Structure 1
């Protein structure tokens, strides 16, 4: 571009017409040259900003995007990327400010509405959040997973279950980050932290200028008091991030997430490795699992109690969003190809940090399922085929901030999780929780038929309430007249069945009728009016 302008100026100067209009033309050409040089510089700076962003160096990318924006380039890409950087740096107020600028462009994409909605939720601006999340789901033609409730009713339902867990801050937290707890033999808590170690060499993560994460362990003295943390297996430490981990129930194997060498594009990926214990000692040789696809990551391993199924998160192709949940089964000593848990669990957002307990309940964190803000923790129940719909654990465990990496202890009466909620010591802190009432469910299912014809009655509206007026779910019977829902076993529910031109039916279900992980079968006949 500059070369073309240079030739043009030379040709102009060879002209014999050097009057006022000729000088004006020269000045205009010079202005174009300067403008072109500025544009070239901006394009170069934008390219460098994009490179820093693709390498997860959000601090550097943000500064470069801001420089581009300050030069008057207010294109959508730059505006959105500034918002994305603030989001990645956990600065939701600034992220909202720039996402709101981004949606003013005519070429705004669905993802921008999605991230604006999540950022607003972190700031407890729920009504505004729901507007943009609904817009996202409309554009993407995806289901709004609120159990059939309106946004207001769903939030009311979540907040109604606020006393189920008590939460305590742990004494092992630092001014840095701690997350990813795992229990070894139910006596030792192993976790990841980026607190400074004893090494004189400090490697910093370019994304946030913080140290990389290493593994630490602390003896469990009681649920909330642990011994002073010490490095765990320093012999397998790398120069990048190590953890989180998951132990087999016999304590003889450990699955660990770690960064691997950067790919040719400079993007660091994650992989899962297994470490084995021989004669009571952990080996220093790690084996990579045959699950990773080049160019993508797998992370956050969670091994089932019987050691037969490994759950993990991945952004591999074929998923439904950013990070999806997968599992791989052990068959003849080998792990099967990854199986996606499907769209009723995975969303256009991120599903991460799975944990499977001794009862077969799968816990995980999601920012795509509706909740209180940021990452919320959910549970799904194992069924004959797949899992139940996700259940939000509610206030206490969840907050308007990021709540994730939950595990249960051996007694299944409490456990640990991580959160960046206010009141902690660092960016992410570890918390202990205690279940004040059992987290048990009953599957309520049945078939609805027409009293006159005896045929299944489809599209019957089914509304579930607890304590008479708190909405829990709203759905319809299928073409076979069948319905099914999992409900907490310690609540009293009212279930209402309605269909146009049919007599309505109402059924009350009490805790005495519901048993832990039991099944209640009901059959109803609807009579014509």
Structure 2
């Protein structure tokens, strides 16, 4: 290498080293802003670094997050896409979830679902993965749910952020806004999104159509120079719970990392001004407590928090309010409501329904509004997406509803609004789906000719053989029953000159699901035999699969239940029929042990027939035969496969009368 080339090479090395050092210093500065949630400031630096050609796992993560956590999901797509493409084997699964949510915001639902499938393979027991698996047809359900609300015009929004509407029980709607005060001055710009800090405003409501009059700031000490939002009022309108930055007695608090979090405060109304402001005792400098929602009777307060026992970015909690104004211990609402994502902005209607926003439950993108129905003390049903037009592919949240007038409000950052977040008014026009609905449909055909059979009686029974519903097929051979979720059923089909058939059906917990269950009937068989010969094996006559048992077990297996139900059907069809249950084992284990095990299997089989089928005990006898009646060569000392041994672990049903 000559001197000139060496000097050029050295200069390039120095330049590259300087550029790398410069980028690293810029990223350190951006990281400082990011870690104190100053996402907009951080993003400016990250973008400059990215535009210079620099790439890294951390850079793409933080660029995506800077948009994601400011509810700009469309812009987040670009950076999460780069992240998942370039660093597929290194990223935390959480970023797959965020990428899926962001894809929904641009209505790329098929791609979003594929990303969620990968998320499931990496997480397994994540609650959001479970909800996705149970609601794979979520778009179909949301369409069924949609159209229950009609949006109304609203003129109170500003070019800033307006959200968190609530009823003050005195004819006003109170909401949070960063529009500034009456003097025309705005509060300090907030680093998170470069918007002024929020204050609380009130607007008189015209109940008939949801229109609001010109809003005015709440009076008193309730508004400070920091954020106030999300209010909830007592029934008499004289007590309010609200969210504020950690600012008590003119002193600003922060956690050990120097971040200012959120707390819930309580205030009372005196001479039309809010005063006596106190923070609630379960607040903390180390985690946020926010978005209060008071029940109609004032005895419970729901809220959102990331306190230590939360499973996600924020969970919903409830706390008892005692008659003396003190509080009980906060209680997490559990896995039905909370996920590893964000559950936030709760609202409890007068009827006790819990509305809240979530990005952990499956929706259209960003935060969606969900409703859960009360099912006991502090217990709720699974949440149901409230559908369009309340929910969109953007963030939709802070839903409130007057169940008497059916007028309500919510906030969204969807396109077409006036500001960063806007409040929307609506009229409820239909009842929401708030229960799991499943169905079973099918066609009954002749097993040989495959022709559709009419005048077939199809009976729906519970797992104890109690009849629930009955229908008769028409010329198309079709039948249909409504079902509950997570329940075991028996579907039986009967027709003169045909052998009855039964099938065990267990529903799942998918919100809207139709089970397709075709049934086939075989002509003749039982009805063609007026008498059974003693010694016949009923299992052979009915063409049943053998009733097998697991190794060293005597419990009835699910596959055996299907066959036993047909034995029960035959006993009911022929009231004079009596059978002897003969249970057997394979040759493994001690002979005496096998005899005892087969006795248990016989008793287990007889018990099932009597109890599940309601059969008279005098019609069913039986005993165990151990390994004395093997059906193959697999006796003591003979080497056999598990499948060959399985053939000997069986029960037979011999006609005795």
Structure 1 and Structure 2 fold alike (TM over 0.5)? yes
Q: Match for 2:282 among 291, 305, 317?
A: 291
Whole-angstrom CA distance in 1 between matches of 2:202 and 2:422: 15
CA drift of 1:324 comes to: 1.0
2:110 aligned with 1:127, yes or no? yes
In the alignment, is residue 384 of structure 1 matched against residue 368 of structure 2? no
1:273 paired with 2:265, answer yes
**For 1:408 and 1:209, how far apart are their aligned partners in 2?**
31
Which residue in 1 is equivalent to 2:245?
259
CA distance in 1 between partners of 2:212 and 2:384 (Å): 30
Q: Does the residue aligned with 1:103 lie in a helix, a strand or coil?
A: helix
SS in 1 for 2:275: coil
- Matched residue SS, 1:437: coil
Which among 208, 224, 229 is matched to residue 243 of structure 1?
229
* 1:69 aligned residue (36, 50, 70): 50
Paired with 1:421 and 1:67, the residues of 2 have a C-alpha distance of: 28
For residues 118-197 of structure 1, what are the structure 2 equivalents within 5 Å? 118-141=101-124, 142-143=126-127, 144-146=129-131, 149=134, 151=136, 153-185=137-169, 187-197=171-181
- Cα distance in 2 for partners of 1:225, 1:282 equals 25
> Relative CO higher for 1 or 2, CA cutoff 8 Å, sep ≥ 6?
1
* TM-score, length of structure 1 as denominator length: 0.79
2:31 maps to 1:38: no
Aligned match of 2:202: 217
The worse-fitting range, judged by mean Cα deviation, of 339-348 and 133-142 is 133-142
Q: Per the alignment, do residues 366 and 443 of structure 1 end up closer, same or farther by CA in structure 2, a change over 3 Å counting?
A: closer
Higher mean C-alpha deviation, range 318-327 or range 433-442? 433-442
- Corresponding residue to 2:304 among 296, 302, 313: 313
Who is 2:342 aligned against? 350
Report the more deviating stretch, 411-420 or 392-401.
411-420
Q: CA deviation at 1:136?
A: 1.9
Deviation of 1:116 (Å): 0.6
- Paired residues in the alignment total 467
Partner Cα separation in structure 2 for residue 335 and residue 211 of structure 1: 33
Q: How far is the alpha carbon of 1:102 from its aligned partner?
A: 0.4
| Local SS of the residue matching 2:225 | coil
Stretch deviating more after TM superposition (132-141 or 236-245): 132-141
Q: Distance in 1 between matches of 2:10 and 2:162?
A: 59
| CA shift for structure 1 position 53 | 0.8
SS in 2 for 1:401: coil
Contact 2:227 2:245 in 1 (8 A): yes
Rounded to whole Å, the distance in 1 between the matches of 2:424 and 2:258 is 35
List runs of 5+ in structure 2 lacking aligned partners.
247-251, 439-459, 467-478, 490-504, 519-557, 567-610, 615-657
Is contact 2:437-2:484 (8 Å) kept?
no
CA distance change for structure 1 residues 440 and 84 in 2, over 3 Å: closer, same or farther? Answer: closer
Once the two structures are superposed, the pairs formed by residues 455-494 of structure 1 within 5 Å of their partners are 475=486, 477=488
Name the CA distance, whole Å, in 2 between partners of 1:109 and 1:340. 26
Taking a change above 3 Å as real, the CA distance of residues 251 and 166 of structure 1, as seen in their structure-2 partners, is: same
Deviation (angstroms), 1:67? 2.8
The Cα offsets for residues 81-121 of structure 1, whole Å up to 9 and x where unpaired, read as 11111223433332111101001213111111111100111
In our comparison, the structure showing a higher alpha carbon Rg is: 2
Q: Select the residue among 73, 78, 83 that pairs with 2:59.
A: 78
Q: Name the SS for the 1:293 alignment partner.
A: coil
Q: 1:79 deviation in Å? A: 1.2
In structure 2, the CA distance between the partners of 1:443 and 1:49, relative to structure 1 (3 Å rule), is: closer
Q: Distance in 1 between matches of 2:68 and 2:295?
A: 33
Matches within 5 A, 1:422-437: 422-437=415-430
Report the equivalent of 1:203. Answer: 188
Check whether the contact 1:149–1:474 (CA below 8 A) recurs between aligned residues: no
C-alpha separation in 1, matches of 2:66 and 2:221: 35
RMSD: 3.6
Q: How big is the shift at 1:157?
A: 1.7
Q: Is the 8 A contact 1:419 1:430 kept in 2?
A: yes
Whole-angstrom CA distance in 1 between matches of 2:390 and 2:216: 27
- CA 1:150–1:253 in structure 2 vs 1: closer, same or farther (change >3 Å)? closer
Residue aligning to 2:81: 100
In the alignment, what sits opposite 1:231? 217
Alpha-carbon distance between aligned partners in 1 of 2:31 and 2:613, rounded to the nearest angstrom: 61
State how far apart, in whole Å, the 1-side matches of 2:118 and 2:483 are: 24
| Structure 1 residues 383 and 484: CA distance shift in structure 2, 3 A | farther
